[in-house]
Amino acid sequence: MSSPPERTRVASSRAGGRQGRRALAGEALVASFYDAVGLLFAPFDGSRWFKLSMVCLFLGGGTPTAAFNWTFALPGEVSVRPGIERARTYIGNHLWLVVLVILLGLAITAGGLYVRSVFRFILVDTIVTHEISVRAAWAELRPLGRSYFRWLVGLVFSAAAALAATAFAAFEYLRSAAAAGTSSLAFSVVLVAILLFIGLAGLVLMVIVTLTDDLVVPLMYAEQIPLGAAWRKLARRLRFEAGAFTLYVLLRFLVSLGVAVLVLLLLFPILFSVFSGVILAVALVVLALKMVGLAWVWNGATILVATAAAMLLTGFLLVLLSAAGMPGQVLLQGFGMRFASPRFPSVESLWLSSRRGGQAHELPTAERPVGREK
């Protein structure tokens, strides 16, 4: 895997002097579709699919708007709710366990964000080179991932702190207003305004993270610069092409929603069959135990068996979800890279050098931005 700086230097002189028409969001989407097809199907490589699926698993699996809510109607003999309630009570009665759970949750969150940050650059590298070596790419791209990780952690915890402060202030205000006998209309208006503010803040954060993933990360990768410097370059471009970037964001979310719907339609019958099979298997186990005069009792052995089965099922579902959603992640990331390409010569040089190496999918001439060399 050649390093990003080498690819950038190879073609920067050719890409730097171009003044062609800026590609529209629709053109970038069409180009990214051909890129995704070329990466995933020309030729088909099962190993590449599996590695990309594992990478995309930490990036959201390609279904950012999809949510699954499954309820298990398991037999009463194997109900896990009493065990969960006992564990919750036990943890609540021991302060050190509460602290341990909080620290463990923070550590898992930070670890997940770090892996996500590095894997985002690995996805960009795979789209450019049509090769994926997670170990080599991890070592090479880890400095860029750390820059992204620090920014992402700061953003997440700042947003969480701001949300907590807003919720606390709103709760105190609403409680005081209720105690003072404020009219129901004024109370409702204030409540709706608070909810709208929180929703708007969440939408702004979502747009910022999307622009960072789609446009800033490829620029960091191409120029080997920290996130702050890349965002400053993007901000300057945003001021000159606000309309084009707005259209890109709208189209990007529409495509994301379409990908989520397609994945749901694909996975729903599969997931329904899997969960139905799990329920049937559990019922058969309980029935078999009853036939030999035994009953299911939660103890060390049964907890171990249930935990192993749950881990296997969870692993299978995660692999299934990531494999189904991975093409969507590749499409969306490529969409951002194609949109950024004519606006940042260093990003365009990645495609040019990759094309000379025979790695990138060659688009039909009519679908390339006007005024650009082949």
Per-residue pLDDT tens for 28-49?
899 899 989 988 888 888 888 8
Answer yes or no: is 292 within a domain.
yes
Q: What pLDDT sits at residue 175? A: 72
Assess whether pLDDT exceeds 80 at residue 18: no
161-175, 207-221, 291-305, 345-359: segment of lowest average pLDDT: 345-359
Average pLDDT value for residue range 109-114: 88
Answer yes or no: is 372 within a domain.
no
Assess whether pLDDT exceeds 60 at residue 357: no
Answer yes or no: is 262 within a domain.
yes
Assess whether pLDDT exceeds 90 at residue 213: yes
CB 349, CB 2: distance < 8 Å: no
64-73, 168-177, 269-278, 291-300: segment of lowest average pLDDT: 64-73
Answer yes or no: is 17 within a domain.
no
Please tell me the total count of domains within the chain.
1
Tens digits of residue pLDDT in 336-345 = 999 998 889 9
Answer yes or no: is 10 within a domain.
no
Answer yes or no: is 82 within a domain.
yes
Tens digits of residue pLDDT in 91-100 = 667 677 777 8
Q: What pLDDT sits at residue 59? A: 83
Assess whether pLDDT exceeds 90 at residue 254: yes
Mean pLDDT across the chain: 77
81-90, 95-104, 168-177, 288-297: segment of lowest average pLDDT: 81-90
21-30, 211-220, 356-365: segment of lowest average pLDDT: 356-365
Average pLDDT value for residue range 212-222: 94
More confident residue, 212 or 179: 212
Q: What pLDDT sits at residue 68? A: 37
Domain range for 39: 23-367
Answer yes or no: is 8 within a domain.
no
More confident residue, 16 or 236: 236
Could you tell me which residues come within 8 angstroms of residue 155 by beta carbon, excluding any fewer than 6 positions away?
Answer: 205, 208, 209
Share of the chain above pLDDT 90, in %: 22
Q: What pLDDT sits at residue 58? A: 82
Assess whether pLDDT exceeds 90 at residue 215: yes
Distance, CA of 359 to CA of 39 (rounded, Å): 9
Answer yes or no: is 314 within a domain.
yes
Helix axes 95-129, 4-16, angle to 10 degrees: 50
